[in-house]
Chains A and B, each alone.
Chain A
Amino acid sequence: MKYRLCYEKKDSLIFISQLDLQGVFQRAFRRAKVQLEYTQGFHPHPKMTYSPPLALYVASKEEYLDVALEGEQDEKEIFAKISAVLPRDLILRSVEALDENSPSLPSFLIWADYEIVLRGEALSEDVAKEIEGYVLNSSEILIQKKNKKKQIVTKDLRPLIESFAAKVVDGEIVINASLSLLNDTLLSPVLLTNTIKERVPSANHLITKSIVKVGTHK
């Protein structure tokens, strides 16, 4: 039987990569004595699928994990057992049993909302406007990036940004952006932030305190 877990990842857990997080969850199921279903063969591994990987240093209010468990188990019971054993900065929000009609993760994870906070000196309303204008008025935002084969390729970020707004709150620039979550066009908020940082050298200190909200179709 398959289940969908929704969880929050914050504070110390933002320093854990997606790969390491997989180990954290697998061990949590064993500690909770919630029996995982494994693949067959010499090297059995649990059947788990995650929402698109979250970049390091990014906190998230909504991440998903689909997991196959042995037999049918009560959703509330799974929730209680797993919640009890997770590290303190990894918080389970819901557990839901899946059936054949449930949408797969990639089919509804299209956009995510992020909050990016820039800290530093002289971050005025003008700077915020400049950043916002740069992103919204550009027809393309080209960056150089290494692909999986280690070749340098040019990537246009602009179509991957659905919405973008920047304002000043308590001397910090707060950016709200909706970025693509689709598998092959996933835009990491860290990448976008680095691009902004190049354009606005005055933002000498920069922290990405981000919240991911998984959107539905446009």
Chain B
Amino acid sequence: MRIFSFKTKFSDIIKLMNRINITPTQIKDTLYTQILPEVFKPARYTGGEIGSKIPKEDTEVRFAFTFPDTYEVGMSHMGLKIMYCLLNEMQGVTCERAFAPWEDMAKLMRQYNIPLYGLESFTPLINFDFVGFSIQYEMCITNVLYMLDLAGIPFRSSERNDFDYPLIIAGGPCTVNPEPFCDIFDIIIIGEGEVVTPKLIEIYKEYKGRTKEEYLKAIMNIEGVYIPSFYSVDENNSRTALVEGAPLEIKRTYIPDMNEVYYPEDTLVPFIETVHDRVMIEIMRGCPRGCRFCQAGFIYRPVRQKRLDLLKKQIDDQLTSSGYEEISLSSLSTTDYMACTDAISYIMEEYDNDKVSISLPSLRIDSFSLGLVDSIQKGRTIPLTFAPEAGSQRMRDIINKNVTEEDILSTMRQAFENGFTKIKLYFMMGLPYETDEDVLAIAELMQKIVDIYFELKLRPKDLSLSISVACFVPKPHTPFEFFAQDSKEEFDRKQRLLIENVNRKVRLTYHDSSLSVLEAAFAKGGRNLNDVIITAYEKGCYFDSWGDYYKEDMWKEAFSAHGLDFAVLAKREYDYEEVTPWDFVDIGVSKKFLVREAKKAEQQKTTKNCYEACSDCGINKDGGKCNFEI
């Protein structure tokens, strides 16, 4: 018998009982005959794709990998594909998937009393042992509540007594500051989940007949595991352990050797087109560059490259098992992978018969990168994308983007000469120490690029130049974590300034400034935001990152209902000595290093990349430079 809290309404209890009593067969039947013929893209909700697993008959532990966004976004995520295979290879463990259903589907699910289910067996999520959410970006958090709601699972860890409900876990990059959403989760994994998650499951098998608290105590000292309910935090972010032995500092966990990282032999191949519909192979973790705004550049340190022979085997496994026509070599900075050219020529030679094409994300603006694109692109129709991030050299030095204007312009000239006409450049505005001149420098840089194009006698036709200008969001565990964000008004003014000054030939897109401010409030927020998130969801906020679905007014109301204002939170500065809400998370990089980098930013001084020189970031506990040979 389930235990309900006093606050639970009777009608809710009845509804919940109905939901739990529904069998997987009934769910599937209702879906196929009543619901799916009425919804947009029904294949999102059926499973059965190539590479999907049939649940084991001797399943002891059911794990649902839940992705708080649409099927198409979630199925593009490499981490999901890796964890799915890894967990399904474990004895007695079945891992299923669930994504956030689109509104039309959710409406019909509610109408027919169908709870959110795992795609592999149509079993309601509420009957699983674990439900693990991947938190890839701040604004998907309301979708976590949306999915829990559709599953009939209470939102807060404190409302889910013992093992009546599944254990709700969070992982993914956003957990480096877990505080704003920590009340929802029983367990938060900080760092790389491939080693921790199986450990959690193994220990769970032993604790199945016991209490939730006993289990959580048994895992609380595993590296990378954070049990939010075991701590209280005061307004100065100082922490007290409520359970004896709970560590006050949580270490991010990672796998030091990239060649030891689990990689599946096969992969999931969706029936319908997804956002990244291709084989994705990770060639390297971490980035040697240290751009000061980039969270990934700090939280995935140090750089870890994959051996070429292992990479080749994985390429073969993945292409053969999936039949995909495209492969992407993914990392934070492709050309910093030392065997990059070898890997590319391997694919081009071995898979020429199958017309496999290669895509290379995250390229630096230099002639080497352009040469690579040139060698893999037979046509010139694919847009070239680069990220100079800032318009002026001064600003690029402040953010430690070690790219000169000369690099940018000569690469653009070479691109035009080689026949590329579609070019997209990414910039940011609102960076620390930014002035109006720096914003205008984006327009000036674009003007120089336009001029280069028209100076060329033999220029390719149909120039398509576009720039995307994002609003800078200061992120935890970066040298810019101490800084305030620009206000919405400032962003809007700078956007107008740029629109008025940029050459008409350049297509300009920019981010919603209000959403970026909200994002900053969450990135830098503390525990008090948990109540805000729940209020916002109850008011109707979800799919917040889907443009039209972002409801600014409702968010404002949700904050003010708890005496807060997200515009103020986003402007919060931290002194170098002050304790931040995320200081208890030790990502390996020292705070001293972040402070050093922040001070260098002020002086417009750059820092060399890790390959050139070590700047003693603290990750290498043996002291000195990391070894980057492969």
A residues apposed to B, CB below 8 Å:
11-13, 15-17, 20, 23-24, 26-31, 33, 35, 38, 42-44, 56-57, 85, 87-89, 119, 205, 207-208
Indicate if B33 sits at the interface (CB-CB under 8 A).
yes
Indicate if B48 sits at the interface (CB-CB under 8 A).
yes
Indicate if B153 sits at the interface (CB-CB under 8 A).
no
Closest chain A CB from B507 CB (angstroms):
24
Given contacts A17-B272, A42-B378, 7 further A-B contacts (CB under 8 A): A23-B271, A24-B50, A27-B323, A31-B50, A35-B353, A57-B42, A85-B50
Chain B residue with minimal CB distance to A25?
A: B323
- CB atoms of B379 and A16 under 8 A apart: no
C-beta contact mask, B363-396 vs A, less than 8 Å → 1, else 0? 0000000000000001101000000000000000
Chain A residue with minimal CB distance to B379?
A: A42
Question: Could you list 30 examples of A-B contacts with CB < 8 Å?
Answer: A11-B32, A12-B47, A15-B42, A16-B43, A16-B271, A16-B272, A20-B271, A23-B271, A26-B323, A27-B269, A27-B322, A27-B325, A28-B323, A29-B323, A30-B323, A30-B324, A31-B322, A31-B323, A33-B320, A38-B355, A42-B379, A43-B378, A43-B379, A57-B42, A85-B50, A85-B323, A87-B48, A87-B49, A89-B48, A119-B33
A57 to B381, CA, bound (A): 35
- CB atoms of B34 and A205 under 8 A apart: yes
A23 to B379, CA, bound (A): 21
Chain B residue with minimal CB distance to A208?
A: B37
Closest chain A CB from B124 CB (angstroms):
19
A207 to B37, CA, bound (A): 8
Indicate if B321 sits at the interface (CB-CB under 8 A).
yes
Closest chain B CB from A62 CB (angstroms):
21
Indicate if B490 sits at the interface (CB-CB under 8 A).
no
A180 to B32, CA, bound (A): 27
A87 to B51, CA, bound (A): 9
Q: Which 6 pairs, one residue from A and one from B, show the smallest C-beta to C-beta distance?
A: A27-B323, A30-B323, A42-B379, A31-B323, A15-B42, A12-B48
Indicate if B36 sits at the interface (CB-CB under 8 A).
yes
* Contact A27 to B273, CB < 8 A, known contacts A15-B42, A38-B355: no
Range for the number of chain B residues in contact with chain A: 20 to 34
Within 8 A of A (CB), among B301-324: 319-324
Indicate if B604 sits at the interface (CB-CB under 8 A).
no
Chain B residue with minimal CB distance to A119?
A: B33
Main SS class of interface, A: mixed
**What chain A residues lie within 8 Å of B136 (beta carbons)?**
none
- CB atoms of B355 and A44 under 8 A apart: yes
- CB atoms of A23 and B273 under 8 A apart: yes
**What chain A residues lie within 8 Å of B272 (beta carbons)?**
16-17, 20
Indicate if B46 sits at the interface (CB-CB under 8 A).
yes
**What chain B residues lie within 8 Å of A35 (beta carbons)?**
353
A89 to B271, CA, bound (A): 12
Main SS class of interface, B: loop
C-beta contact mask, B339-354 vs A, less than 8 Å → 1, else 0? 0000000000000011
**What chain B residues lie within 8 Å of A85 (beta carbons)?**
50, 323
Chain B residue with minimal CB distance to A89?
A: B48
A42 to B324, CA, bound (A): 18
Q: Of B32, B47, B321, B353, which is within 8 A of A31 by CB?
A: B321
- CB atoms of B46 and A12 under 8 A apart: yes
C-beta contact mask, B20-46 vs A, less than 8 Å → 1, else 0? 000000000000111011000011001
- CB atoms of B50 and A207 under 8 A apart: no
- CB atoms of B323 and A87 under 8 A apart: no
- CB atoms of B271 and A24 under 8 A apart: yes
* Contact A87 to B271, CB < 8 A, known contacts A20-B43, A27-B325, A31-B320: yes
A47 to B418, CA, bound (A): 30
A105 to B43, CA, bound (A): 28
**What chain B residues lie within 8 Å of A16 (beta carbons)?**
43, 271-272
**What chain A residues lie within 8 Å of B32 (beta carbons)?**
11
* Contact A30 to B271, CB < 8 A, known contacts A15-B42, A15-B43, A42-B379: no
* Contact A27 to B324, CB < 8 A, known contacts A87-B50, A205-B34: yes
Of listed A11, A12, A24, A43, residue having the most chain B CB within 10 A:
A12
A208 to B47, CA, bound (A): 21
- CB atoms of A88 and B48 under 8 A apart: yes
- CB atoms of A15 and B49 under 8 A apart: no
A28 to B36, CA, bound (A): 26
**What chain B residues lie within 8 Å of A27 (beta carbons)?**
50, 269, 322-325
A23 to B271, CA, bound (A): 8
C-beta contact mask, B267-286 vs A, less than 8 Å → 1, else 0? 00101110000000000000
Chain A residue with minimal CB distance to B266?
A: A31
**What chain A residues lie within 8 Å of B324 (beta carbons)?**
27, 30
A56 to B353, CA, bound (A): 33
**What chain B residues lie within 8 Å of A31 (beta carbons)?**
50, 320-323
A43 to B355, CA, bound (A): 9
Closest chain A CB from B513 CB (angstroms):
36
Closest chain A CB from B37 CB (angstroms):
5
A43 to B326, CA, bound (A): 13
**What chain A residues lie within 8 Å of B319 (beta carbons)?**
30
**What chain B residues lie within 8 Å of A44 (beta carbons)?**
355
Closest chain B CB from A164 CB (angstroms):
22
Closest chain A CB from B91 CB (angstroms):
25
Q: Of B37, B48, B271, B354, which is within 8 A of A57 by CB?
A: B37
A36 to B24, CA, bound (A): 40
Chain B residue with minimal CB distance to A206?
A: B37
**What chain B residues lie within 8 Å of A208 (beta carbons)?**
37
**What chain B residues lie within 8 Å of A119 (beta carbons)?**
33
**What chain B residues lie within 8 Å of A30 (beta carbons)?**
319, 323-325, 354
* Contact A20 to B323, CB < 8 A, known contacts A15-B43, A87-B49: no
A87 to B321, CA, bound (A): 13
Closest chain A CB from B76 CB (angstroms):
15
Chain B residue with minimal CB distance to A207?
A: B33
C-beta contact mask, B356-367 vs A, less than 8 Å → 1, else 0? 000000000000
A193 to B229, CA, bound (A): 56
A57 to B36, CA, bound (A): 9
A16 to B47, CA, bound (A): 11
Chain A residue with minimal CB distance to B41?
A: A15
* Contact A15 to B46, CB < 8 A, known contacts A20-B271, A20-B273, A207-B33: yes
Closest chain A CB from B277 CB (angstroms):
8
Closest chain B CB from A40 CB (angstroms):
11
**What chain B residues lie within 8 Å of A28 (beta carbons)?**
323
**What chain B residues lie within 8 Å of A17 (beta carbons)?**
272
Chain A residue with minimal CB distance to B50?
A: A87
**What chain B residues lie within 8 Å of A207 (beta carbons)?**
33, 37
A12 to B32, CA, bound (A): 8
Closest chain A CB from B188 CB (angstroms):
35
Closest chain B CB from A122 CB (angstroms):
18
A87 to B48, CA, bound (A): 7
A67 to B324, CA, bound (A): 18
Chain A residue with minimal CB distance to B49?
A: A87
